[in-house]
Amino acid sequence: MPAEYTPASFDPLSTEQIANTICATFERQPLVSMTHEIPRFKGSGLYALYYRGVSVDLYLPLASLQVPVYAGQARSDSATGESVRERYPLHGRLKHHRLSIMEGGLPIAEFRFRALLLPAVHADLGENALRVGYTPVWNSKLKGFGSKEQGATTRQSKKSKWDTVHDGRRRTHGGVVHEIEKLIGQAEAHIARQVSDYDRLPWPHPDIDSYLDLETS
């Protein structure tokens, strides 16, 4: 035995451990095709979007990895605790994203989503862990994908980075304010770092071939 020894410490109910468990469980959920309308389901929780294609060069390095292009959550109550009447918040969010991907000129058949119904507090932990662990490119370098156009103030705002690179969504804005080539270069460099850091996450992610890939109709 070494001259000095301290046993390992493990708290199964720590915030970090709970978040890791949520993410590990989340990543065991099937990847679901977005080609067709997503069947409606009730509930709120955690979700992420993935690229699984061959035609979009920018995202091609992610096609064989469990690295999402976007991660988020949809909850049945507001951040202030006020009741929201929406019975299908997670489904509604995915439906909105599906339309954005298509309007942005991206091939919807090459995208998948993963979802997990969760209480709001656990969805918060999971979303934060996914965003910190993976830094999805649409959450970080190409922001604006998840935004909604609501009222005159939003319509007059500057064009988002996501809309600059993937132009086409039916919304009004204050015009192009970003250099598209610069944004693409930043996104490419970011994705390269994601690929190099893939095996450094605190939760295990089985090989991509072990996941189900579901087709909806």
DSSP, collapsed to helix, strand or coil, labels residue 167 as coil
Q: What is the mean pLDDT of residues 11-19?
A: 89
Among 15-29, 38-52, 71-85, 168-182, where is mean pLDDT lowest?
A: 71-85
Rounded to the nearest integer, the mean pLDDT of the chain is 87
CA distance 50 to 65: 9
Residue 210 confidence (pLDDT): 45
Which residue, among 79, 84, 83, 89, has the nearest Cα to 118 in the 3D structure?
A: 89
CA distance 164 to 129: 27
Q: Check if the beta carbon of residue 107 is closer than 8 Å to that of residue 115.
A: no
Q: Which amino acid is at 170?
A: R
The pair phi, psi for residue 80, each rounded to 5°, is -90, 0
pLDDT tens across 103-128, in order?
A: 999 999 999 999 999 999 999 999 99
CA distance 14 to 118: 18
18 by Cβ neighbours in 10 Å (0-12 / 13-18 / 19+) ranks as: middle
- pLDDT for residue 26 is more than 90: yes
| Percentage of the chain exceeding pLDDT 90 | 66
pLDDT tens across 69-102, in order?
A: 999 999 887 555 555 567 899 999 999 999 999 9
Q: What is the mean pLDDT of residues 157-172?
A: 86
Q: What is the residue-wise DSSP string for 69-89? A: SEEEEE-SB-TTS-B---S-H
The domains of the chain are located at 15-200
Q: Check if the beta carbon of residue 193 is closer than 8 Å to that of residue 141.
A: no
State the distance between the two ends of the chain, measured CA to CA, in whole angstroms: 61
